[in-house]
Amino acid sequence: MRPWTNRTVILAVIGMTLLVLGVAAMFLWPVLFNHILSQELPITPTSRVLDLWRSTGDKIPLNMEFYFFNWTNPEELKIPGKKPNLVEVGPYTFIHKTEKVNITFHPENGTVSYFVRKYWYFDPHKSNGTLNDTLVQLNVLAVAAANKVRYWDEFYQSTVSIILGQVSSIHIVKTVDEMMFTGFKDQLIDLGKLAMDTEDMHIPAYDRFGWFYLRNGSTFFDGHYNVATGEDDIANLGIMKKWNYTDVTDYYKSPCNVVEGSAGEFFPPGRDTDDITAFAADLCRPMIYEYVGKATHHGITGYKYELGEKSLGNSSFRRYPHSAAKYFERTTTTEDFFHADYSTKKSAAGYSDPDVVDMGKCYCNGECSPVGVINITACRYGAPGFISLPHFHKADPILREQVNGLNPNEKDHSFYYLLEPNTGVPIDVAARLQVNILLQPYDFVTLFRDVPKIYFPCFWFSMRAGTTEDLASSLRMLLLVPSIGLYSSIIVAIVGGIVLLILAVIQYSQKGRSHPKNSKLKRHGWVSNNDSKEKRSEHVYMDTTTTPDDNERTDRQLYPTLN
Ligand SMILES: *[C@@H]1O[C@H](CO)[C@@H](O)[C@H](O)[C@H]1NC(C)=O
Ligand SMILES: *[C@@H]1O[C@H](CO)[C@@H](O)[C@H](O)[C@H]1NC(C)=O
Ligand SMILES: *[C@@H]1O[C@H](CO)[C@@H](O)[C@H](O)[C@H]1NC(C)=O
Ligand SMILES: *[C@@H]1O[C@H](CO)[C@@H](O)[C@H](O)[C@H]1NC(C)=O
Ligand SMILES: *[C@@H]1O[C@H](CO)[C@@H](O)[C@H](O)[C@H]1NC(C)=O
Ligand SMILES: *[C@@H]1O[C@H](CO)[C@@H](O)[C@H](O)[C@H]1NC(C)=O
């Protein structure tokens, strides 16, 4: 005998369907969400964020703050026991805008190419000082000239020494504007032009020097970008494929010369706690940011990645499979790659991994520097430029002890990306770097004969960028989608489960009663003092015991509550 009615069957089917759907949705929802992301995030001509990507600054105002180190005792440089006194002045704040020009989409290989044009507008209200403030700084041109001739013949060095002694001193007094955008004339520039190597001929015809001279409004300095749009594979979103038309640079030895990492704006969705990499065109190299923990910005929780040991150190080991060599263009020969300084460092298991490279060595490019400074001499046409975090934060303490006036702290001087992990969207970015010049003794150049060796801080900048409250609230909505999906799936599954459970309980209780032997006992147990309940049980009892065949059962009342 089968105590089933059509209604039971329908309910059972509904319950089962809900349960299956709910459970399936629990697993499928993330897939669906990822599908939505892979449709929405890529950089395409019709992308919703295209305008924002094309030109930042109109919608998201970026402030770039510059701080200079004013050298107040240059006359004491050669006195033993005296350190340079540096007084931080600023901020000199600029509104910073970037726009991408000559944007060309290449659907055939899933990339987009463009140049970047940058603008700076001085903002006197947010500045502590004016562009006419005077600064005393190390004479970068003289240091660069001395550095350039140091491997020349002694005779030529002496000649340069005489010229330097006549036209230069070790420090310069210039206004902030001259040091940055307007630039200043100097006889050394003309001299330098004569000494310039032919390979440097592609640089603009400098007639003045300034850290940002000719940079305002120019597309020259950042070079040509070729970036994956993420259309083919969302895991490639925003990844640099080529820089200046090649996937390797001339500035470092293999494999440190590889163009890789994000172009800095987009990161593929689904972030984990692995390091992230972003290519820094100003430094001609990728930089690694290490996961440090979670943080919240505008109510959104993100993963925080900071510039640390792996980029700042002088020996950071990294797995770099030999097989990767085949992806490099012919400018880096595979041979070159195999000559890379592979580590002899033993792994935990006790054998050395042939694919582990000491990245510190290939970035040293000659003489190594202490932890905390990055040698960009090669990227700056031979001027001994070194990049660090402001105030030598996270650097070898020796560096800041060489001068007076540096006080690093994590809050003001770290460089980090805060990424929303599901979408990979940067919600808060603090880009901060300091520019230093290596001052060191040059025996044949009188001006520099007895100087101490100092990584001399010149200036640093800080740029905070992040989602506005507007963007943050759209992002929060988007992020609710997976949670809403998950919770609704769970609710659907639970409803289905409850329906099935109720059916099961009822079936079970009726099965017991349908047995003639047990029926009396069961009935006693079922019947309560409550009248309606008694009535209900009667019905059920009747229903199960008096339905001998299927045809009759169809119009029976299963649920007493429906009476
Ligand atoms: C920098 O130092 C010089 C001399 O020590 C001083 O004249 C000048 O005003 C200082 N600049 C600023 C911006 O404080
Ligand atoms: C402005 O600069 C002066 C000296 O350069 C400094 O003493 C002062 O603390 C600065 N103010 C702010 C708000 O940074
Ligand atoms: C940069 O260029 C823009 C437009 O040409 C100009 O308005 C702005 O003042 C310039 N900024 C500086 C710091 O020279
Ligand atoms: C993609 O194609 C364009 C146009 O042919 C080319 O310039 C670019 O270098 C290619 N990028 C890659 C990564 O192959
Ligand atoms: C920095 O890089 C240059 C050029 O690659 C190299 O000659 C020099 O030895 C490196 N290190 C230092 C400390 O200058
Ligand atoms: C690497 O950095 C450390 C700490 O600053 C320094 O002691 C060491 O000499 C550097 N290594 C090389 C090869 O210069």
Q: What is the pLDDT of residues 217-251, one digit of tens each?
A: 998 888 999 999 999 889 999 999 999 998 888 88
> Which tens digits make up the pLDDT trace of 116-159?
999 999 999 999 999 999 999 999 888 888 887 777 777 777 77
Cα(348)–Cα(332) distance, integer angstroms: 32
Answer for the pair 42, 509: CB distance below 8 angstroms, yes or no: no
Nearest ligand 5 atom to the CA of 375 is 1
- Contacts of residue 132, defined as CB under 8 A and 6 or more positions apart, other chains included, come to 175, 176, 177
Cα(194)–Cα(159) distance, integer angstroms: 14
Token match 């800095």: residue?
A: 264
Angle subtended at Cα 509 by Cα 508 and Cα 511, rounded to the nearest 5 degrees = 65
Q: What does the pLDDT read at residue 522?
A: 43
Q: Could you tell me how far CA 68 lies from the centroid of its own chain?
A: 27
Q: What does the pLDDT read at residue 537?
A: 43
Q: What does the pLDDT read at residue 540?
A: 41
What SS3 state is found at 397?
Answer: helix
- Contacts of residue 185, defined as CB under 8 A and 6 or more positions apart, other chains included, come to 207, 208
Cα(68)–Cα(434) distance, integer angstroms: 10
Q: Hey, CA dihedral for 173, 178, 179, 185, is it positive or negative?
A: negative
Neighbours of 477 (CB within 10 A): 10
- Contacts of residue 140, defined as CB under 8 A and 6 or more positions apart, other chains included, come to 172, 209, 383, 437, 458
Closest C-alpha residue for ligand 1 atom 4: 72
Which one of 93, 128, 133 would you pick to mutate in the ligand 2 pocket, going by the greatest count of ligand atoms within 8 A of its CB? 128
Cα(87)–Cα(414) distance, integer angstroms: 20
109 lines ligand 4 (CB under 6 A): yes
- Contacts of residue 93, defined as CB under 8 A and 6 or more positions apart, other chains included, come to 63, 64, 65, 66, 122, 123, 126, 127
Q: What does the pLDDT read at residue 125?
A: 95
User: Ligand nearest 368 Cα, by number?
Assistant: 6
Cα(139)–Cα(167) distance, integer angstroms: 12
Does the pTM surpass 0.85? The reply is no
Report the range of poorest mean pLDDT among 101-115, 351-365, 410-424, 440-454.
351-365
Mean pLDDT rounded to a whole number for the chain: 81
Nearest ligand 1 atom to the CA of 176 is 13
Cα(3)–Cα(465) distance, integer angstroms: 68
370 lines ligand 6 (CB under 6 A): yes
CA distance to 36, 310, 353, 368, 371, per residue, from 315 (Å): 41, 8, 16, 9, 9
367 lines ligand 5 (CB under 6 A): yes
What SS3 state is found at 35?
Answer: helix
Closest C-alpha residue for ligand 6 atom 12: 368
- Contacts of residue 113, defined as CB under 8 A and 6 or more positions apart, other chains included, come to 102, 103, 104, 106, 224, 225, 226, 227
Counting every residue written for the chain, the total comes to: 563
Q: What does the pLDDT read at residue 157?
A: 76
Answer for the pair 187, 209: CB distance below 8 angstroms, yes or no: no
Cα(492)–Cα(475) distance, integer angstroms: 26
Q: What does the pLDDT read at residue 337?
A: 56
Q: What does the pLDDT read at residue 535?
A: 43
The CA 238 to ligand 3 mean position distance, Å, reads 29
The CA 210 to ligand 4 mean position distance, Å, reads 35
Phi and psi at residue 198, to the nearest 5°:
-65, -30
CA distance to 32, 186, 190, 201, 382, per residue, from 197 (Å): 57, 19, 14, 7, 10
CA distance to 404, 407, 416, per residue, from 431 (Å): 24, 18, 7
What SS3 state is found at 115?
Answer: strand
111 lines ligand 4 (CB under 6 A): yes
- DSSP H/E element including 280: strand 276-280
Report the range of poorest mean pLDDT among 39-43, 118-122, 357-361, 436-440.
357-361
